[in-house]
Amino acid sequence: MGTVDLNSDLGEGFGAWSCGDDATMLKIVTTANVACGFHAGDPDVMAATFRTARDNGVAVGAHPGYPDLQGFGRRPIRMSESEIERMVAYQIGAAAGMAAYAGHRLTHVKAHGALANAAAADAGIATAVARAIRAVDRDLVHLAIACSEQIRAGEAVGLGVVAEIFADRGYDEGGQLVRRGLPGAMIDDPEEAAARAVTMVEEGAIVTLSGRRLPTAIGSICVHGDGAHAVAAAGLLRQRLLGAGVAVRAFAGA
């Protein structure tokens, strides 16, 4: 039935504070998006995450977000498009440096949290993110939310673009993620998350809360690494994809 990537947002600890079970997730996923120090992460966490990913043959990318450690990058911050462009470029550079330090290399960039949500809906912000990626390294892939402005912006500036869906998040009728805190935003049951994601891959469409199908390319599936059931959901999803005849492989080589 084809191939799909399985990704997770990792390296989201900071100092003495840990987040998620990265070591186990890096034995399941094929791609890791590593926090760059603004919403989470620091040089030590980044280096360790990149090194473990390298040892497990997992592809890695930068996961830039708003400068919001207290809010984990999930609170909107008012910034100009030029400020966003430089902020994202800065974080990609940090990730590239720490990946090289750990003997690995970046393959892609995926925006985090409130920045990703803003770029999904706002063409100007999406373009700022895409321009930042291209300015640092035009060979980096833009891992972008399916059916969003991110896809169009990445393609418009000439980047390789991979469309991403989320196993553990609900979709509204427009195909965008339901805002956290609202009913249906989070899919906490690993069985439900895995079943929904496999259905979306098989049908080539986002499935909304009402069951509406919105056709889209699907190159990668995300399971958030900070979720309480992240390891169970990722492991079960990989198992179900393989059982459905879908190969699980990174969209860019590790």
Lowest mean pLDDT among 12-16, 52-56, 150-154, 246-250: 12-16
Evaluate whether 77 touches 66 at the Cβ level (below 8 Å).
yes
User: Tell me: the pLDDT tens digits for 207-246?
Assistant: 999 999 999 999 999 999 888 889 999 999 999 999 999 9
Mean pLDDT score of the chain, rounded to an integer?
96
Residue 175: pLDDT band by 50, 70, 90 thresholds? Answer: very high
Residue 1: pLDDT band by 50, 70, 90 thresholds? Answer: low
Domains of the chain: 3-248 (3.20.20.370)
User: Residue 115 contacts by C-beta under 8 Å, 6 or more apart in sequence?
Assistant: 64, 65, 66, 73, 84, 88, 125, 129
Q: What is the pTM of this model?
A: 0.96
Q: Is the pLDDT of residue 44 over 70?
A: yes
